[in-house]
A = this chain, B = another copy of it.
Amino acid sequence: MPLFFKISHLFLLLFVSTLSSSSSPFGYNHPLDSLTLSELTQVKTIVKKSYLLINVTFHYVGLNEPEKPLVLSWISINHPTKNPPREAIVITQIDQKTHEIIVDLSSDSILSDKIYDGHGYPMLTSQEQNVAEKLPFTYQPFISSIEKRGLRLKEVVCQSSTVGWYGEKRKSNRMIKLIYYYLDGMVNLYMRPIEGITIVVGLDQMKIASYLDRLMVPVPKADGTDYIEPKPRARSNLQLDGKRIMQPDGPTFTLDGNAVRWADWKFHVDYDMRAGIIISLASIFDDDKGEFRSVLYRGFISEVFVPYMDLSEDWYDRTFFDAGEFGFGLSAVELQASKECPENAKFLDGYSIYQDGTPGKMPNVICIFEHYAGDIMWRHTELAIPGEVIEKVKPAVSLVVRMVSTVGNYDYITDYEFKQSGSIKVTASLTGIMEMKAVKYTNSDQINQDVYGTLVAENTIAVNHDHFLTYHIDLDVDGRNNSFLKAKQKTERFKDKKMSPRKSYWTVVKQTMKTESEGRTQLGLEPAELWFVNAEKKTKV
């Protein structure tokens, strides 16, 4: 996965200079609302004031989430007089050191400012990547390497890639590698990697730290892989992109600030630079009890780890953290009705920051829509009652909250689907283009070693890799006291014909996990139902 983003293009177009966009006197409506445009501007001012004349690079600004008991108390009262504290967490680089700064917005002050010296670095900014990607084009050894290959420099494009960490002694500063592709009239650059050149850039000095040209293999041809204007298809005479009016009477959900109400559900949805979508305080109305029952306190993508399985010099360190290094929210694209979302979608904006701390609007990065495809939620036909045919059908309508994050060649579609049954289905769909490696081989028969992937075209290997998405899921099923319960099948076999004419049956053994390590579960190894329950709350049976 070539990793980069140039959202600065978008920022420049879309930057909004008005500082007030909220309706409450505090500039926000809900204690879990992400920081508003005016709050982000306030954060920048406060931090800059305490580092006068010192260069501060802003890598992340987000809401410093109030303590959970404060939020739960706030929502339990209809018009609370006292709001939870409104704080920001700011991750900066100051003098090549990572600072974690907590800013209190009500008192206009810095609450704490700690230097982080553990493993890892802050998210990359798009500005520093943009600058780094331009370095090779004036670097003579690189210019020579391109000429030596018979390629034209102006057709070369560059993307930044992270370097990972493999247990080595900690590196002294932040570094990225650069990856090159050859356009030459094509837009599908991932099909045309220029293989064999390794450039490492030190970001703090913004200089090329090391250069290695170790291998020359042909740039793949990539004929017929244009996805912008593919050749017309002979048989597909169908207007598959044709209009579908999904809800002529408009959406059936309501959006009050970032609070969503749909069917029996209510929840809060917001945007974060790193995590993308954050769902909070999801609860569902129980008609029998006459009250809302909590399901999820807070849920979001905490990391996306993408290790490639190629040990060669240019590839072994392609083990990306797509959220932590590149920002799932920062990589979000502007969604469009009838394209990424259906016609009946509503859209939400997000606010992000430049590396100088200035906020910018990310328009329409979240869409919310009623999802219906003609499927059935529940049905039954009853023919057993004499003289009566009973037929009842309920359509499968759900509510989807969606974001699309493009990190290099991959586009992640992340959905939170709220079902009428009370469940939330979390989906990540991967699309985009495969990361290719150029090789000398033109036919599989020539290959006699591990090439770490599949030869998909002449000189082109699609490299083996994984995507591991980890979610932060703080469930509050019927309250905070949740347990993890496994219900496993157990087969009982017997030979006593008096016991039963059968030879076996299965029964269910339930086990509530006592520790987190006991709860570790490898999915797929055995049939099991996995439940999160509030073990203290019982039904009447």
Q: List A residues at the B interface (Cβ < 8 Å).
A: 2, 4-7, 9-10, 157-159, 166-168, 181, 183, 187, 189, 224, 227-228, 231, 233-236, 238-249, 252-253, 262-264, 285, 287-288, 290, 309-311, 316-317, 333, 336, 338-345, 369, 371-386, 388-395, 397, 400, 404, 406, 408-409, 411, 413, 420, 429, 431-433, 442-444, 450, 452, 454-458, 464, 499-503, 505-508, 523-525, 540-541
Contact = CB atoms under 8 A, between A and B. Distances in A.
A311 B379 contact: no
Given A241-B395, A263-B240, A507-B450, A9 B383 contact: yes
Contacts of A507: 309, 450, 452, 464
A242 B505 CA distance: 45
A457 B267 CA distance: 30
A65 to B, nearest CB: 28
A262 B238 contact: yes
Contact of A384 (B159, B240, B287): B159
Contacts of A252: 238-240, 242
Contacts of A246: 244-246, 374
Interface centre among A158, A373, A378 (most CB of B within 10 A): A373
Contacts of A372: 244, 342, 373
A275 to B, nearest CB: 19
Nearest to A342: B374
A248 B243 contact: yes
Contacts of A443: 540-541
Describe A's contact surface by its main secondary structure: loop
Contacts of A167: 501, 503
Contact of A233 (B287, B385, B450, B455): B287
Given A287-B234, A290-B234, A464-B507, A189 B379 contact: no
A309 B505 contact: yes
5 contacts: A189-B382, A238-B262, A310-B505, A316-B502, A380-B433
A369 B376 CA distance: 14
Contacts of A379: 339-340, 404, 411, 413, 431-432
A372 to B, nearest CB: 6
Contacts of A309: 505-507
A233 to B, nearest CB: 5
A264 B240 contact: no
Given A380-B227, A389-B9, A505 B311 contact: yes
Contacts of A429: 375-376
Nearest to A335: B393
Contacts of A345: 374
A502 B311 CA distance: 8
A371 B369 CA distance: 17
Contacts of A236: 263-264, 285, 287
A454 to B, nearest CB: 8
B262 A431 contact: no
A378 B244 contact: no
Contacts of A375: 429
Q: 6 closest pairs, A vs B, by CB? A: A342-B374, A373-B373, A524-B524, A166-B501, A235-B285, A339-B393
Contacts of A310: 505
A5 B389 CA distance: 11
A241 B263 CA distance: 12
